[in-house]
Amino acid sequence: MIVEVIINSNVKDLNRIFDYNVPAKFVGTIHIGSKVLVPFGTMKRAQEGFVIGIKDTSEYKIKDVLNVERRRINRRKNNFSKTYGI
């Protein structure tokens, strides 16, 4: 299972979606709107992001989701919903 994640950052050039693999331990607990920690960039520092899509495959070389927060965000109040139509 692959999730599409938007990174929670103030960087203007970071307005795109990134694909991440979902490890078996998180399958069933990760949904659209889930808050996740993912490895990002060459600094290997975990970044906070939000799942905005789920798919079966990716055309990119992808890394694993590191952690999933149990609480889900309200998609109607989410700033990403205006940008990405979810």
Domains detected in the chain: 2-69 (3.40.1440.60)
The residue type at 20: Y
Interval 18-36: pLDDT, tens = 999 999 999 999 999 999 9
Block residue for tokens 């490895």 = 39
Q: Which residue has the higher pLDDT, 82 or 34?
A: 34
Q: Per-residue pLDDT tens for 72-81?
A: 555 555 555 5
Contact partners, residue 75, CB within 8 Å, separation at least 6: 32, 33, 81, 86
At 45 the pLDDT is 82
- pLDDT (0 to 100) of residue 74: 57
Q: Is 17 exposed, middle or buried (0-12, 13-18, 19+ CB in 10 A)?
A: middle
Q: What is the pTM of this model?
A: 0.77
- Over residues 38-75, the pLDDT tens digits come to 998 877 789 999 999 999 999 999 999 999 997 655 55
State how beta strands 2-7 and 45-55 pair. Answer: antiparallel
Measured distance CA(61)–CA(39) in Å, rounded: 13
